[in-house]
């Protein structure tokens, strides 16, 4: 079990949420009897680090293990863990603790942006305030400015092997293809449509470009339903063609389109604890203390 990092839980929480890194906030919500710390104590847990402490001991190790299980299984939202310090925890305090685990995905959506030209740069700027994790690729290794690379929730990477890059994208990624090379665009589209777990696929360009790509994909034997997953050109909201062709205007429609695509209903798990669970938690604490 790793030791706590020197960073305080609140600083770590701010940084992890800013950078879009999955994490769990563990909060001691109730206690009865002798316990290492009082209600309100918090710690933050990631896949490979822990920040602050709930008092140590076996129950804390079990809390960390439960938190990392949630991250691995991508079970985000609110979860309750109960510990009797002498039973499940193997500790001798003799008290009782309820721990609330709040598991955060780190980013509401993953967006893979292929191409760092004028439109790509405007998309990145417009996306900065949004809760998206951007994976930005370009085959030109010197295309990314140092200032851009410091933006939150943004990773800049050199695009080398297209097939490997597409294979390594996180599940449910929204992909935007707008490189400086038609051949590179085509190779990306051909690999992206073969991944059933890609959330959406968008391609920049004219109708004639997409018509040419469609014919080529069909001749190579790609399934028609997979080809139809591609939106081209991206940013054509309600099939309306823009008169303003500036990079900023195109990027604005692309980001707006992505906002609709990433707008999913909130899972019931993320809406909070059920009233009955809260009531039982409070009643149990009162009973133990009386």
* Spatial contact of 61 and 1, defined as CB atoms under 8 Å apart: yes
Quote the strand ranges of the chain, DSSP E. Answer: 23-32, 42-45, 50-51, 77-84, 96-104, 109-114, 132-138, 154-158, 173-177, 200-203, 230-231
**Phi and psi at residue 272, to the nearest 5°:** 120, 180
SS3 assignment, position 39: coil
Q: Residue 33 has which token pair?
A: 């009897």
What distance in Å separates the CA atoms of residue 259 and residue 248, rounded to the nearest whole number? 16
pLDDT computed for residue 271 by the predictor = 40
pLDDT computed for residue 275 by the predictor = 52
Q: What is the rounded average pLDDT of the residues 32-43?
A: 76
Give the strand pairing for 132-138 and 109-114. parallel
pLDDT computed for residue 93 by the predictor = 53
Tell whether the model's pLDDT for residue 273 goes beyond 50. no
Domain boundaries, the chain: 9-106, 109-262
- Chain Cα centroid distance, residue 206: 31
pLDDT computed for residue 102 by the predictor = 94
What distance in Å separates the CA atoms of residue 47 and residue 161, rounded to the nearest whole number? 28
Q: Hunting for tokens 């979860």 — which residue is that?
A: 79
The superfamily in CATH containing domain 109-262 is NAD(P)-binding Rossmann-like Domain (3.40.50.720)
Containing H/E element for 41? none
pLDDT (tens digit per residue) in 76-101 = 889 988 877 665 445 555 567 888 99
What distance in Å separates the CA atoms of residue 128 and residue 136, rounded to the nearest whole number? 13
Q: Hunting for tokens 């109960």 — which residue is that?
A: 82
Tell whether the model's pLDDT for residue 238 goes beyond 70. no
pLDDT computed for residue 155 by the predictor = 85
What distance in Å separates the CA atoms of residue 243 and residue 239, rounded to the nearest whole number? 13
What distance in Å separates the CA atoms of residue 176 and residue 33, rounded to the nearest whole number? 56
* Spatial contact of 110 and 84, defined as CB atoms under 8 Å apart: no
Concatenate the DSSP letters of all residues of 34-68 into one string.
S-SS-TT-EEEE-SS-EES-SS-SHHHHHHHHHHH
């Amino acid at each position: 079990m790793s030791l706590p990092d020197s960073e305080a839980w609140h600083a770590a929480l701010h940084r992890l949420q800013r950078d879009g890194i999955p994490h769990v906030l563990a909060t001691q919500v109730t206690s009865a009897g002798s316990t290492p710390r009082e209600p309100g104590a918090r710690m933050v847990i990631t896949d490979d680090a822990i920040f602050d402490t709930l008092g140590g001991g076996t129950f804390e190790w079990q809390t960390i293990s439960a938190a990392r299980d949630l991250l691995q299984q991508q079970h985000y939202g609110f979860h309750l863990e109960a510990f009797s310090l002498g039973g499940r925890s193997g500790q001798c305090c003799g008290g009782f603790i309820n721990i609330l685990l709040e598991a955060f995905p780190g980013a509401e959506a993953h967006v893979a942006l292929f191409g760092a030209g004028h439109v790509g740069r405007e998309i990145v700027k417009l996306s900065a305030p949004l809760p998206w994790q951007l994976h930005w690729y370009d085959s030109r290794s010197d295309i990314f400015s140092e200032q851009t690379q410091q933006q939150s929730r943004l990773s800049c990477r050199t695009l080398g092997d297209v097939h490997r890059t597409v294979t390594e994208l996180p599940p449910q990624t929204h992909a935007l293809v707008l490189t400086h090379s038609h051949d590179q665009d085509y190779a990306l589209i051909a690999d992206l449509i073969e991944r059933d777990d890609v959330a959406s696929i968008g391609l920049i360009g004219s109708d004639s470009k997409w018509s040419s790509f469609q014919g080529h994909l069909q001749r190579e034997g790609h399934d028609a339903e997979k080809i139809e997953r591609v939106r081209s050109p991206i940013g054509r909201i309600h099939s309306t063609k823009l008169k303003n062709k500036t990079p900023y205007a195109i990027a604005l429609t692309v980001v707006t389109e992505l906002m609709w695509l990433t707008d999913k209903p909130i899972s019931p798990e993320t809406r909070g604890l059920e009233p009955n669970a809260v009531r039982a938690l409070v009643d149990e604490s009162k009973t133990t203390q009386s």
